[in-house]
């Protein structure tokens, strides 16, 4: 064991840099909530009036009053250790909370349907346990034997499988139809049995109950032979089943699930054949340092003999002012970073934004934009992964404009986005009675000048949520 000196270079992020990185990756709605939380937690920070109609870029100099603070206002009181001035506001973990829909939850909605039913105490507890086991899609993802064991170990309730199944049928009679199912087959049967019984409803129930695998794999010829039906009758069954809800829990609007609200961070307009970029005004709030705190500091400055409580007050005020100024600067840098990055993306993909033709989207990777604006790739990634832009052709996620390049047989460099669009069009126009296999898709693309391996076609097909040929078959 011995002591020795060692020199080492290492990079450490300051609290301000960490705060900026967190702010950059926030979408507009979360960014607004972050600002509100910061204002609530820091009395030295205030939000001024902002107008949607104001040009935020022109008013950038009026962004905040943080620069008006004079260091003299900090009283030149330097005997307080600097570590005590570090605010938790800039260093705390990112808050992942997002807004939730109001009203009762999905579980509460189901429990409310249980109340009018007359059950003894044991059965009621079992029914409540079953309701509590239903996931957000509306399913119970456990076998009955597993539920029996869970009831015994966690609730000290002992029940037979048959009795449990009887109580489960009560729950499965709740709304929305199909809730409480153990699997997709069970879910479809529950919904079919609640429909008015007709020839095709009865036929659909029989097929789903006894030939679900053949039905799901679209072995239509086998089904027609087995049930002695023709194409018209099978089409009626397929149409009936396709209108059922495979995720009954998702149909409940008050499910207490996170609200997925898309608010564009940028807007691109075309004026005189030129692209005009605007940052959503909600991304550029007017933030100020509290004048009340400024006056408090000036008041303390006039005090000649400062008491212990006054010194503590000075330390508190310095901490809050530092935190407020850091936050305002981070918000301003966020605004500038978003604008610079989006401007570079817009210029790079200018032909697309002017025409709306997705074939004009150029191959573009994060490094291309990072080199263009001389920023780190991780910063570009934070901007691209969570930001939306409102274009004349709809609202787009920024990361959709990033893609690798691929060369055609003629040597032309094109975006993989273009390949996917062509693949999508081929599948859309194929003969649904005899869909194209991946091998056939490779040949068609090669004929069009795109030499792609079969595994690459399969990968693109999966990314486009296009099922394999057998599952695309129709009658």
Q: What pLDDT digit, counting tens, does each position of 313-362 carry?
A: 777 877 888 888 888 888 899 999 999 999 999 999 999 999 988 778 88
- How far apart are the C-alpha atoms of 20 and 23, rounded to whole Å? 5
Task: State pTM to two decimals.
Answer: 0.52
Neighbouring C-beta atoms of residue 13, cutoff 10 Å: 10
Tell which wins on pLDDT, 66 or 174: 174
Neighbouring C-beta atoms of residue 324, cutoff 10 Å: 27
Which of 435, 439, 419, 415 is closest to 427 using CA atoms? 435
pLDDT tens string 213-258? 888 888 888 999 999 999 889 888 888 888 888 888 876 644 444 4
- How far apart are the C-alpha atoms of 26 and 402, rounded to whole Å? 19
Task: Report pLDDT for 370.
Answer: 92
Mean of pLDDT values over 62-78: 40
Helix (H) or strand (E) holding 17: helix 15-25
Residues with Cβ within 8 Å of 327's Cβ and at least 6 positions away in sequence, in order, are: 19, 38, 42, 45, 89, 90, 287
Q: Lowest mean pLDDT of 14-23, 66-75, 130-139, 256-265, name the range.
A: 66-75
Per-chain mean pLDDT for the chain: 79
Task: Report pLDDT for 20.
Answer: 76
Which of 391, 331, 327, 389 is closest to 356 using CA atoms? 391
Tell which wins on pLDDT, 291 or 376: 376
Task: Report pLDDT for 99.
Answer: 43
Which of 182, 204, 190, 193 is closest to 137 using CA atoms? 182
Peptide linkage before 176 cis (omega within 30 of 0): yes
Which of 243, 245, 248, 244 is closest to 139 using CA atoms? 248
Residue 29, judged by CB atoms within 10 A of its CB (0-12, 13-18, 19+), counts as middle
CA 205 to chain centroid: 37
Domains and CATH numbers, the chain: 15-86+264-391 (no CATH), 106-251 (no CATH), 403-472 (1.10.10.60)
Mean of pLDDT values over 69-79: 40
List the structure tokens of 336.
């500038």
Tell which wins on pLDDT, 421 or 168: 168
Cross-strand pairs, 287: 47, 64
**CB-based contact 214:222 (threshold 8 Å):** yes
Q: Answer whether residue 165 shows pLDDT above 60.
A: yes
Parallel, antiparallel, or unpaired for β 274-279 and 266-271? antiparallel
Tell which wins on pLDDT, 393 or 17: 393
- How far apart are the C-alpha atoms of 111 and 223, rounded to whole Å? 40
Residues in the chain: 475
Tell which wins on pLDDT, 118 or 475: 118
């Amino acid at each position: 064991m011995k002591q020795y000196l060692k020199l080492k270079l290492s990079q450490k992020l300051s609290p301000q840099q960490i705060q900026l990185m967190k702010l950059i990756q926030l979408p507009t709605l979360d960014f607004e909530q972050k600002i509100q939380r910061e204002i609530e937690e820091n009395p030295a920070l205030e939000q001024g009036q902002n107008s949607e109609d104001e040009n935020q870029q022109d008013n950038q100099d009026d962004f905040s009053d943080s620069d008006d603070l004079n260091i003299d206002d900090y009283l030149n009181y330097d005997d307080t250790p600097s570590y005590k001035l570090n605010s938790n506001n800039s260093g705390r973990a990112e808050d992942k909370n997002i807004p939730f829909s109001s009203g009762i939850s999905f579980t509460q909605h189901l429990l409310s349907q249980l109340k009018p039913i007359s059950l003894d105490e044991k059965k009621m507890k079992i029914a409540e346990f079953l309701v509590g086991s239903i996931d957000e899609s509306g399913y119970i993802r456990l076998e009955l034997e597993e539920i029996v064991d869970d009831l015994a170990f966690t609730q000290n309730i002992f029940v037979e499988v048959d009795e449990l199944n009887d109580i489960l049928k009560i729950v499965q009679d709740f709304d929305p139809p199909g809730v409480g199912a153990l699997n997709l087959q069970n879910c479809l049967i529950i919904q079919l049995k609640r429909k008015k019984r007709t020839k095709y409803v009865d036929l659909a129930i029989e097929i789903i109950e006894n030939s679900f695998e053949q039905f799901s794999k679209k072995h239509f010829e086998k089904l027609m032979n087995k049930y002695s039906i023709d194409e018209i009758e099978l089409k009626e069954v397929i149409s009936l089943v396709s209108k059922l809800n495979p995720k009954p829990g998702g149909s409940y609007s008050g499910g207490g699930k996170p609200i997925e609200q898309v608010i564009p961070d940028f807007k691109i307009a075309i004026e005189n054949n030129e692209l005009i970029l605007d940052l959503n005004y909600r991304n550029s709030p007017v933030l100020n340092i509290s004048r009340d705190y400024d006056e408090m500091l000036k008041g303390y400055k006039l005090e000649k003999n400062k008491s212990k409580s006054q010194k503590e007050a000075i330390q508190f005020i310095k901490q809050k002012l530092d935190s407020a100024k850091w936050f305002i600067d981070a918000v301003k840098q966020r605004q500038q970073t978003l604008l610079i990055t989006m401007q570079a993306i817009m210029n790079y993909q200018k032909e697309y934004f002017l025409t709306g033709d997705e074939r004009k989207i150029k191959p573009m990777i994060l490094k291309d934009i990072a080199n263009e604006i001389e920023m780190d790739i991780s910063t570009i990634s934070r901007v691209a992964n969570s930001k939306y832009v409102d274009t004349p052709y709809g609202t787009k996620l920024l990361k959709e404009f990033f893609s690798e390049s691929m060369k055609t047989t003629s040597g032309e460099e094109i975006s993989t986005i273009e390949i996917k669009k062509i693949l999508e069009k081929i599948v859309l126009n194929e003969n649904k009675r005899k869909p194209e296999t991946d091998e056939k898709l490779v040949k068609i693309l090669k004929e069009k000048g795109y030499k792609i391996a079969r595994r690459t076609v399969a990968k693109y097909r999966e990314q486009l949520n296009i099922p394999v040929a057998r599952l695309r078959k129709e009658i």
